[in-house]
């Protein structure tokens, strides 16, 4: 599946036109009066180090078959999600409306504030620490960040490793942060 360009703004329903939407139940309401002030970039591959297939979507929708791979037995009961996923080919998926709290950050802290899920948008890139990300992913991420920054102009951008140091390493050493400044 190739990427279609995202819309230019987040809709009133919290969805981004151009992203393929599949609802994840692993979300809830943000705390009252909370606004998005952080965008967190993650990396995920299921099974680890392998790309393609529908395992990430199944994980985010609580349908991951524990018999599908030995690693899935360890994680199938997790209740996690992200707002967005960008596949290796740049295809953009959305699982949680932006006005809702996705369960992506876990135990986390950003600039002295804990519970980053409360005030962040989570973006998963299909990838891992050991391999570089694809050009199509950087293009899709840049377009997505442009839209998100219009909706949330004060939002910082950080990696999962930045908000959960010592616990998480993603998006990993192969992620080219300089590409976001271009």
Just list the catalytic residues: 124
DSSP β-ladder status, 84-86 and 92-94: antiparallel
The burial of 32, by beta-carbon neighbours within 10 Å (0-12 exposed, 13-18 middle, 19 or more buried), is given as: exposed
Q: How would DSSP label each residue in 76-113?
A: TT-----SEEE-TT--EEE-S-TTEEES-S-S-EETTE
Which residues are paired to 21 by β-bridges? 94
């Amino acid at each position: 599946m190739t990427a279609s360009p995202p819309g230019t703004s987040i809709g009133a329903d919290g969805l981004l036109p151009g992203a393929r939407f599949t609802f994840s139940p692993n979300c809830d309401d943000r705390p009252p009066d909370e606004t998005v002030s952080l965008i967190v970039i993650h990396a995920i591959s299921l099974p680890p180090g392998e790309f393609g297939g529908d395992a990430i979507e199944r994980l985010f929708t609580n349908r991951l078959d524990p018999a599908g791979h030995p690693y899935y037995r360890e994680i199938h009961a997790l209740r996690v999600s992200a707002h967005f996923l960008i596949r290796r080919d740049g295809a953009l998926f959305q699982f949680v409306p932006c006005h809702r709290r996705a369960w992506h950050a876990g135990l986390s802290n950003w600039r002295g504030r804990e519970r980053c899920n409360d005030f962040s948008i989570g973006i998963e890139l299909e990838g891992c620490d050991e391999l570089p990300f694809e050009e199509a992913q950087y293009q899709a991420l840049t377009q997505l960040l442009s839209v998100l920054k219009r909706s949330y102009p004060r939002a910082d951008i950080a990696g999962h490793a930045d908000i959960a140091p010592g616990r998480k390493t993603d998006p990993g050493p192969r992620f080219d942060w300089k590409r976001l400044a271009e």
